Amino acid sequence: MTRKEKFGKFVLLEETEKTGLGAEYRAAKLSATGLEKIVTLFRFAPAITANVDAARLLMDQAKAAAQFQNPNVVKVLGIGKVESSYYVSSEFVEAKSLRAILRRAKQDGFPFSVDHALLVASKVCAALEYAHGRRAEDGSRMVHGLMAPEHVLVSYEGEVRSRGFGLWPAQLREFGLLGPDESAALSPEQAAGGKADARSDVFAVGALLFEALTGQHPFANGRTEDFAGLLAAARLANPTTEDDRIPAPIAEILGKSLAPAAARYADMAEMRKAIDTLLFTGDFTPTTFNLAFFMHSLFREDIDRESRALKEEREYGYAEYLVEDKPAAPVVVPAPSAPEPARAHAPEPAPVHHTPASPAPSQPAIAIPGGAQPAGKSSMPMIVGGLAAVVVIAVGAWFMLGRSTPEAAAPAPTTLSPEAAAAVRKVQELEQKLAALEAEKQAEEQKAAEEAEKKLKAQAAAKGQQVDPAALARAQEEARKKAAAEAEARQQAELQRLAEEKKAEEARLAEEKRRADEAAKAAAAATPPPTTVAAAPVTQAPAPAAPAPLKPGTLVNLSDPGVIEPIVERSPALHYPPIALRQRVDGAIELNVLVDEKGNVADVKVLQDAGGKSGLTEAAIENVKRRKYRPATKDGVPVKVWLPVRVVFKLP
């Protein structure tokens, strides 16, 4: 593992980003015994550190930002000074900045979609709305003042976080410490030397949204007051239709956010409501799930590399860095104050200490507790659990009953028995049948939608009228829902039948095992005890030591004797990535899945991916990670095992 330098109680592991304000690092925070946690550390540029007034101003504002407790804001963990360098440490998020995303998207010809841009803008608005509701020590309202793409993080799981609160660029500009990139993010009134306020942040979000949609800053060619002309000339980087102009409702939001200060949205809450109202219409369907697919498609190699580096960094001992340092000059951060009443759109977590552990990235919840499925979602992934359970119960009976009769020890087989191998093949066939049934269901929904379209067009033609697009969309949606409900009813009936068969089979096997155990005990009791010849006593060799009992959670091979493979009990519906649908790509992904002793998927390895940037591989991994299995067992003990899984995507 390559490390760069010791920095107080930190080890700077890798520089992740650099701006005119300073450099950002992934860093290891050390305790007396070794690694405490991985954090993000921002070390301010020497020009800022050398300016006492600017440094003090930044540190005061960073202390205020450390009070923030909001899911859309990156949490500040510590503030201080090491020798002559000031720093701010914050929670580590496996993510890329929006600046890095837009740069890579342009480089790879894989542009940001309109849906993604709207989702990011909505989350940034929520973060800023929260900040604007806070007050600094002097009673002034907290603002960001420099919400450029560098200060928006998108995690690999599709979560959006804002950072950089407390930079106060107007003052930094007075000190001559803002670079050209930071200066370009300023509102006109800030650029003219004015102080940042809430409307400055409104302008910044408008500029950020414009750049995410078009791939360029709205004022890349110089500032202009002709906002109408600017928006009319702008073109989407990733249009979904032949018309690449910015859609009218989005153009209206941009126009009102990029206008002169007096004509902008009155506050951030008003802008957020305008964006969210647009999302609720259904014309745009941004989801965290799809944004995660985009991130995994765009940064697949980076994610793999960073995952390996993180694993090494977390396992490293850091012994050579555990030396006594000169006392640092930490900046004391007061404990967070009691949180304000939660807002409906951005609930605040319960108060925590100043240095909370970095939260794990959240994932979209698809599986429904207790096996219930949301409306419109298929329950067929559960059926394979029932079918596979019935098949594998037979394998379990073969192992359990076969061990009930005492017999001479035999060499352990190295492969599955013919019966077990046949059962495994049957399970694989059932999984393929499941994929086929899902494809049939999608085909039925598509057919129902097409028939509804034909019917509506015929009715309109008979009246000499044009088809109303809104009425057509409603009719198609109703037809799809009806077809899905009918398929769901058939699937539920099949699931119930299989559940009853499974219950009866389990009861039969339990009774057979009970009888076999009783017969074995009776046979052992009827065997006469061995006799001892007094005249010629024989010293018996010590009995071989009994093997150590198998511990739950032991990693075993699927082919080991006595192992019954995991069974799917619950699986989320398989979502077809929108990117793959647009590219008309399908295929099968071969995975190796580590199922732990609790039935959870602990790890996933790709044996054969779909290739390209279709998002199919990422969708397959996301699906299997959320599956719930009945854990594998060996001699009745729950164990860990690697299980081959094949995920098939077929275009409707």
Please, are residues 264 and 203 in contact by the beta-carbon 8 Å criterion? yes
Please, are residues 572 and 618 in contact by the beta-carbon 8 Å criterion? no
Query: Does the domain made of 553-652 have the CATH classification 3.30.2420.10?
Result: yes
Q: pLDDT digits over 374-387, tens only?
A: 344 444 444 445 54
* Cα 646 from Cα 652, distance rounded (Å): 19
Q: pLDDT digits over 586-632, tens only?
A: 888 999 999 999 999 999 998 888 777 788 888 899 899 989 998 99
What's the 3-state SS for 61-74? HHHHHCCCCCCCEC
Residue 457: phi and psi, rounded to 5, are -65, -40
Q: The whole model's pTM is what?
A: 0.52
Greater model confidence, 582 or 113: 113
Q: Classify domain 5-93 at the CATH superfamily level.
A: Phosphorylase Kinase; domain 1 (3.30.200.20)
* Cα 643 from Cα 459, distance rounded (Å): 54
**CA torsion through residues 388, 391, 397, 399, sign:** negative
Q: pLDDT digits over 525-564, tens only?
A: 776 655 554 545 555 555 555 566 788 999 998 888 888 8
**CA torsion through residues 359, 362, 367, 373, sign:** positive
Which of 202-216, 234-248, 442-456, 592-606 is the least confident region? 442-456
Which of 30-39, 201-210, 326-335 is the least confident region? 326-335
Q: pLDDT digits over 144-177, tens only?
A: 888 889 899 999 999 999 998 865 555 566 666 6
What is the predicted pLDDT for the residue at 338?
41
What's the 3-state SS for 586-635? CEEEEEEEEECCCCEEEEEEEEECCCCCCCHHHHHHHHHHCCEEECEEEC
Which of 88-92, 99-103, 379-383, 498-502 is the least confident region? 379-383
Q: Give the pair of three-digit tokens for residue 548.
A: 């150590």
CATH number of 95-298: 1.10.510.10
* Cα 307 from Cα 300, distance rounded (Å): 11
Secondary-structure percent of the chain, ordered helix, strand, coil, rounded to 5 = 45, 15, 40
Average pLDDT taken over every residue of the chain: 76
Q: How far is CA 202 from CA 21, 25, 145, 150, 235, in A?
A: 22, 29, 10, 16, 22
